[in-house]
Structure 1
Amino acid sequence: MRARGRVGDPLPCPYTSLERMRAFARRGQISLSAGASGGGKTAFWSNWALNARYDGDYPIPTLYFSSDSDQHTVGIRIAQAVLGCTQDEAEERLEDSWDLFHEATEHTWWDFKVGPTLDHFDAEIETYSLVHGQYPSLIVIDNLMDCDAGYGADEGANQREALLWGSSKARETNAHIAFLHHVTGPNVNGNYPIGKDGLMNKVDKRPRLILTFHQTDPGLLNVSVVKNSTGPARSDGGWFTSIPWLPERSWFGG
């Protein structure tokens, strides 16, 4: 334990109710966040990277791999969150000035390669460390389905190998690596709690923390803790917190 360094230290979190559930994103570990398409995964982690602060002042150094969404889509979502406005308003205001956007996101390094390989992840992480003199504290991989681990059309093998790589890389860099993932069957509607059995290809073994997302009421994103190696969880998704969320403005409450 004395030799562990920063492994296991929790990253700051902008969601106080999730912290009360002891669902921490810890250094040196990987997590998996799963939900329906458009169900809030990207918004949830973008907001985490954007608004979590060390000591209330210092944002988390972040490397965000966005193979699932292009520059325009992500840029507008982030601009909405920063400016607190609709998509049309964000596009109009960005035409006048990018200063506020750059100031809010300068701690985040973005990569938009489609179908990234594990070698690409390695190269980008090392490049980040060379430029910044340190590894990122948070690495987001959006999403697991797009990772190419060299197993061709075998989707499950690609995903399991990517998670194995992530476990090793998290320990090597002391970063927390958050993988975003899809769900299967009736869970794709995203309107009731999703358990571990709803994960695409049942890739629940390696992550130390698994969160799933669903919505039952407008204005709220329900986040279930279905696996938690250092805290309570319910594998059926029945233990969750409801976080205020206005997707049309990319806004989250605490």
Structure 2
Amino acid sequence: MRRPASPLQGVTLRHAVVVIPAHDEASRLRGCVQSVLDAAAHLPFETSVVVVLDACTDGSAELAQSFGAAVHAVEVNLRNVGAARAAGFDYAKSLPTAASDDEVWYATTDADSRVDPDWLIRQIGSGADVVLGVVRVPNWRNTSTVAIRRYLSSYQTKYRPDGRGHRHVHGANMGFRAATYWQTGGFATLANDEDVDLVNRFRAAGVRIDSDRRISVSTSARPVGRAPRGFAAHLRSVATGVTTERT
């Protein structure tokens, strides 16, 4: 019997880099980093994990460093999620590797999220220049049933009827070719919507974008987030019934 084709068959990449911005995330960071390392273990080439510790004072730095050589811990004092993501990829550019930008895959997630084991395999195997996934919330502690139903109903309105497409953009779940990232200018220094801004520039550049809701990461339902108008702010607005637009 013929074996099914590998999801990476025909892929010419030689290296992957995952950037995780963190600001006082000690309680969640270990699970996030470990999930990324588990996903990286499914790739046939090396993955560099870069944790950008932005003005951390809670032990996040020590936690990231505890992973040893598997994780690059970069300490900055930017207090800005867009700048922190950009700093992570700037650092990645300096990593010693024989791979060209056309042979490197970049991905990013958030410190309060956990990626699935097939996260990188699905991104890279899509064949696209940019891949956008979705998020799920496994623990709705301290959130009312009404608010949960309202959020899920609103979230699903951006699912496309083809069974896999969607219209969401999450910095916690996106990946792109390194060459595409640099050609488009990378993450801007924005305290909010740095992910949406980058994707808008990808779209303007006409690159191949795959929006796949089968590529999912779990994230927290914390009421206070790091970005003033980020995912946590959106969840608060859903709870009050005054929903702010969030892609």
- The TM-score with structure 2 as length reference comes to 0.31
Q: Relative contact order (alpha carbons < 8 A, sep ≥ 6): 1 or 2 greater?
A: 1
Instruction: Report the TM-score when normalising by structure 1.
Output: 0.30
